[in-house]
Structure 1
Amino acid sequence: MKKHLSPLLLTFVFCFCEQPQQYNPIDSISTDISILASDSLAGREVGTPGEKMAADYIVAELEAAGARPKGTDGYYQSFFVKDADNPHAQPSEETGEDGITGYNVVGMIDNPGEELVVIGAHYDHLGMGGFSSLHRGEQAVHNGADDNASGIAAMLHLARVLSEKELNRDVLFIGFSGEEKGLWGSNYFTKNPTIDLSKVNFMINMDMVGRLDESKGLAINGTGTSPIWNWLLDEVNSDSLKLIKSESGVGPSDHTSFYLQDIPVLHFFTGQHEDYHKPGDDPEKINEEGILTVASMIEQMIVLMDDDEQIAFTKTKDESDNPRFTVTLGVVPDYMFDGEGMRIDGVSEDKPAIRAGIEKGDVVVQLGDSTVTDMMSYMRALSVFKKGDKTTVVIDRGGEKLSFEIEF
């Protein structure tokens, strides 16, 4: 296994890890993102040299912050996926040439108590694009500054500041890989933990926290996984953020793996944008102050809860009851929208919506015979259609109701 930083990163690590200097959080966050989302890492796709270079950098920063190794081989925990093109493929301990090897990075700040808090973020991205890319032009590096160099930068900041706190719980930091392929890294960790999962008080996941905008909207998923979350989040919201809460413990990010082990979770997310899964997700578009705001909120939570007993876990609505659908309208939902309907944050090329004339910013209020009041009602309405069906979509565009005929 690779034990040392690649030559490309040695200079950065020497400058920012070895030289004593006063800690400047904004500068450090900016540096983390600039390195992790640089073209030289080629999009950090799991199983590539860019992924390993990113892992090396995270290891160096965790070590500099005082976190000790907690992987299976130092800070590293490797996993292997044989049938990598299978969307249901599961990571395992196997090895071989016909498959993909990825690496979780695991470090722990060792405090007096036996309980733990887990802070995680995935660091892999899409490499040069591939199936999950929304880019339709020539092949290009998908740097993933927001997705998810931003979450790793927030995690590293928390490692640096929490190492200076006198806490009663250990804090475990995990950089997951393979998230973009299907939560490979977090799935593997929770089934092959390097700590006692029964000692985990809660898990915090940060995935895309780099685009906090002037509306100050912050989506927090998993608020139904413990009775304490709603009170606590309001208590630490000192920056008057617009908190958009969702109860479900299941979602398309790594907190899901921990929720499925009956661990309370929260997932922090500053919203979708037009650069999502495209080459334009670059460092210059990141709001470093916004990342610090989110991380500081999490820091307050951990400090405030440090003397409390282990919090209660509650199951949320069974997501296996969610509607399943075989067609798509070809839109990106606005997950930060909390009004009536389903607001569109992006329209994919050559899909039913764009062919009908539906635009970004439109709010879907009716699909076929079904009224759309939120994301779930939109999904239910969509689930009744199959390829070749025709129907009507009613949208609200600036207060005006417009009707569009579409064919799936």
Structure 2
Amino acid sequence: MNKFLLLILLAASSLLFSQEVSKKRVIEVLSRLASDEMKGREIGTPENDSAAIYIAKKFAENNLSFCVADSYLVPFEYKGKVVYNVCGIKKGESEKIIAFSAHFDHIGTSDKTEDKVFNGADDNASGVTAVIGLADYFKTLKTDFSLMYIAFNGEEKGMKGSKAIVEIPNLQEQHQNMTALFNFEMIATVSQFGPNALYMTGDEFSNLDELFNEQAANNLKLYPDPYKKQKLFYRSDNVSFVKKKIIAHSLSTVDMTKAKHYHQLNDDLEIVDFDNVTEIINNFGKTIEKFTPKNFSPKYTDQVNFN
């Protein structure tokens, strides 16, 4: 084979796989967000602001465009303070948008024990890591859909950030073009369905999971919500978009019947399965790559409550 041709093929091959997100990157991002220095990322604290700025820097590394004005930081008011959601967008061939989201705030610190920091590695540094990981994955790839990346603030205080961002006048066109929002909520552990699997809250309310699974890469799978009695579909940031009649579901791996770390001090890096998180991010990216406005247009059923 001609050496010049061989070099071209090797270069093309390296570009083909260059978007893979490394385990090292996943560890770097998740560890920073869940570090003691972040002091539990409670909304209204300097450390919460630091987390927002950190996420914004990661969006900048991926050359995302601003969603609003001239910053990734999207301000809103909480108890008299200016706090921030974080939002970036990558333009695709179409104006139609697929959004990836997760909340980055957690519940702060405790003064009652020696370990004072609620690190929130699973809840929800893991979800934000998936959002940043997908921005990494698609950095150099052309996509049919435009891709929006949102890190919500104030979920722990009643979904304050997502409620604020859906009402921003300058984002209404993007909301109208949003085909679906995938909200990552606690994906640090291996699900009860095994590795490389998530469950989707409110699966009975749309055909999003069926359409996703038809295209899913490397045996990644979205399973039905095993905790329907807990009504998780209406208890996370996706519901702010549901009320706008935008297809929006939360995806998780946490076993609600066994998890002992939810809102506890032991929700730290020791419980994170970094191999599984990395696999999910990469296979999610490979799946989204296949989507076009023609083959991916999920619809709600008549069972969903938009109020």
Q: TM-score, normalised on structure 1? A: 0.62
Map of 1:41 onto structure 2: 38
Which structure is higher in helix share?
2
Residue deviations 1:294-344, cap 9 Å, x none?
3234323322222526624314535599xxxxxxxxxxxxxxxxxxxxxxx
For the residue of structure 1 that corresponds to 2:225, the secondary structure is: strand
1:258 & 1:280 partners in 2: Cα distance?
A: 31
Residue deviations 1:102-129, cap 9 Å, x none?
2000111122321111111110000115
Unaligned runs of 5+ in 2: 1-17
1:103 & 1:287 partners in 2: Cα distance?
A: 29
Map of 1:301 onto structure 2: 287
Map of 2:152 onto structure 1: 176
* Structure 1 pair 214–253 and aligned structure 2 pair: CA distance change class (3 A): closer
Residue deviations 1:6-62, cap 9 Å, x none?
xxxxxxxxxxxxxxx997521001010111111111100011111111111111111
1:79 aligns with 2:65: no
One-letter amino acid matched to 2:24: D
Residue deviations 1:174-208, cap 9 Å, x none?
01000010111111111115431111111010010
- Greater CA drift, 231-240 or 62-71: 231-240
Is the Cα–Cα contact under 8 Å of residues 185 and 252 in structure 2 kept in the other structure?
Answer: yes
1:25 aligns with 2:22: yes
Higher relative contact order (CA 8 A, sep 6+): 2
* Structure 1 pair 316–207 and aligned structure 2 pair: CA distance change class (3 A): farther
1:252 & 1:137 partners in 2: Cα distance?
A: 29
Which structure is higher in strand share?
1
Alignment of 1:122-201 (within 5 A): 122-129=103-110, 140-192=116-168, 194-195=170-171, 196=173, 197-201=175-179
Is the Cα–Cα contact under 8 Å of residues 222 and 265 in structure 1 kept in the other structure?
Answer: no
One-letter amino acid matched to 2:183: N
For the residue of structure 2 that corresponds to 1:152, the secondary structure is: helix
> CA shift at 1:225, angstroms?
4.1
Q: 1:266 aligns with which of 219, 242, 249?
A: 249
Is the Cα–Cα contact under 8 Å of residues 261 and 267 in structure 2 kept in the other structure?
Answer: yes
Is the Cα–Cα contact under 8 Å of residues 121 and 151 in structure 1 kept in the other structure?
Answer: yes
Q: Point out the structure with max Rg over C-alpha.
A: 1
For the residue of structure 2 that corresponds to 1:61, the secondary structure is: helix
- Greater CA drift, 206-215 or 105-114: 206-215
How many residues of Structure 1 are paired with residues of Structure 2 in the alignment? 280
Map of 2:96 onto structure 1: 115
1:176 & 1:117 partners in 2: Cα distance?
A: 16
1:204 aligns with 2:185: no
2:232 & 2:31 partners in 1: Cα distance?
A: 31
Is the Cα–Cα contact under 8 Å of residues 119 and 173 in structure 1 kept in the other structure?
Answer: yes
Is the Cα–Cα contact under 8 Å of residues 71 and 105 in structure 1 kept in the other structure?
Answer: no
Q: 1:311 aligns with which of 277, 297, 300?
A: 297
1:141 & 1:249 partners in 2: Cα distance?
A: 26
> CA shift at 1:232, angstroms?
2.6
* Structure 1 pair 193–171 and aligned structure 2 pair: CA distance change class (3 A): farther
For the residue of structure 1 that corresponds to 2:234, the secondary structure is: coil
* Structure 1 pair 245–254 and aligned structure 2 pair: CA distance change class (3 A): same
* Structure 1 pair 219–280 and aligned structure 2 pair: CA distance change class (3 A): same
* Structure 1 pair 194–28 and aligned structure 2 pair: CA distance change class (3 A): farther
Is the Cα–Cα contact under 8 Å of residues 263 and 313 in structure 1 kept in the other structure?
Answer: no
Q: TM-score, normalised on structure 2? A: 0.81
One-letter amino acid matched to 2:22: P
Residue deviations 1:267-289, cap 9 Å, x none?
11011410110111111321112
For the residue of structure 1 that corresponds to 2:206, the secondary structure is: coil
Alignment of 1:6-405 (within 5 A): 25-82=22-79, 99-129=80-110, 140-192=116-168, 194-195=170-171, 196=173, 197-212=175-190, 215-216=193-194, 218-233=198-213, 235-236=215-216, 238-239=218-219, 243-245=223-225, 250-271=233-254, 272=256, 273-308=259-294, 311-315=297-301, 317=303
One-letter amino acid matched to 1:202: A
* Structure 1 pair 181–264 and aligned structure 2 pair: CA distance change class (3 A): same
2:77 & 2:192 partners in 1: Cα distance?
A: 42
One-letter amino acid matched to 1:200: M
Map of 1:334 onto structure 2: none
> CA shift at 1:70, angstroms?
1.6
Is the Cα–Cα contact under 8 Å of residues 75 and 83 in structure 2 kept in the other structure?
Answer: yes
Residue deviations 1:375-404, cap 9 Å, x none?
xxxxxxxxxxxxxxxxxxxxxxxxxxxxxx
Identity %: 26
One-letter amino acid matched to 2:141: K
One-letter amino acid matched to 1:172: M
